[in-house]
Homo-oligomer: A and B are copies of this chain.
Amino acid sequence: MPRPRDSAATRRALLGAARELFAAQGYERTTVRAVAERAGANQALLYRYFGNKETLFAEAVTEQALAPLAEGPPETLLERLLAATLDDSPGAAMFFSVLRSSGRSADAVRTRLGTAYSAAFAELVDTDDTADAAVRADLLLAWLLGIAQLRSVLRTAPLLDADDDVITAHVLRAARTLLRDAP
């Protein structure tokens, strides 16, 4: 049995290798064996930690998508999440395709991300009404989801060609009204 500290390091290495390979090669062409090899771990450990390829994938994209939460103060969370939303790397495109797909793994990913980000945004809403704060936070997530759809999935103009800074400025301005102003 590996010691606990090694086991956390192995888990991290496996997730990192999974993210890189999934982003570079796509889901179908990535094998569990290649992920384990890249991480310098054995396949048995990978199966023990993650169950199967689908749950490894779900875990890898979820961890990546939750990263902006921890990367700075709550006040700039929307900027960080917008930057991730406007990211046009293959990894981001793959993530958004998961987010819109059906199936139990995708549902689980959406639930975890939705819950975490809703709670974080609800904290920023200027109201004591927690139900209303949750609705406003969800509306903001809906906006990011819609922007990601048009830019990364459907790839339609004018959002596809618009400057990130222009989009960010407009969304931040409107989001401030949504979150802070009294209805």
Q: Which A residues form the contact surface with B (CB < 8 A)?
A: 100, 110-111, 114, 118, 131-132, 134-136, 138-139, 141-147, 149-150, 154, 156, 158-159, 162, 166-167, 169-171, 173-178, 181, 183
CB-contact partner of A173 in B134, B143, B156, B181, under 8 A: B181
Question: What chain B residues lie within 8 Å of A156 (beta carbons)?
Answer: 110-111, 114
Question: What chain B residues lie within 8 Å of A174 (beta carbons)?
Answer: 139, 174-175, 177-178
Does A158 contact B146, Cβ atoms closer than 8 Å? no
Does A147 contact B142, Cβ atoms closer than 8 Å? yes
Q: What are 9 residue pairs bridging A and B, where the CB atoms are less than 8 Å apart in the complex?
A: A100-B100, A100-B149, A135-B167, A138-B150, A138-B162, A139-B170, A142-B143, A142-B150, A145-B146
Chain A interface mostly: helix
